[in-house]
Amino acid sequence: MKHSYESRVYYADTDAYGVVWHGAYLRWLEKGRVELCDMLGLDLVSMKQNDMLIPVTNMNIKYKASAKLDDRIIIESWVEKYNSLSVTFKQVIKSKDSGKIYAEALFDCVAVTNDGKLYRRMPQELAQKFEKGVKCPALV
């Protein structure tokens, strides 16, 4: 299952050189993962109330080109892989107009309690949703 959303590059997203500041990509990627979780039926506020959090434990971002002020971008997010301990999200940020890829990223997350204790196995509620996310065909 793939989540996709569009955004625009605003002045606040750019650095002194007029290109997107590297941290702005992280904000867009975070939004994409949260929206994908919502689409899978995983509301992060409800998860916290049920003593489940899924923090990022590893991130790998490849910056391939620089987006610039007023560019229209598309952020795509999907579950790349899932196992009983962790989930990996794959994400791409690209130009809406040309399809040029600006950044590709992989984020690994694990399930922990609100106190930070690692679950030995992904809680069943999360496991079912992530398995569904991996097995469903990507939505365009």
Active site residue: 15, 43, 70, 97, which one?
A: 15
Collapsed DSSP state (helix, strand, coil) of residue 4:
strand
Q: Is 71 a catalytic residue?
A: no
Three-state SS string across 67-130, please?
CECCCEEEEEEEEEEECCCEEEEEEEEEECCCCCEEEEEEEEEECECCCCCECCCCCHHHHHHH
Give every CB contact of residue 79 below 8 A, 6+ residues apart in sequence.
Answer: 1, 36, 40, 87, 88, 89, 90, 130, 133, 134
| Catalytic residue set | 15
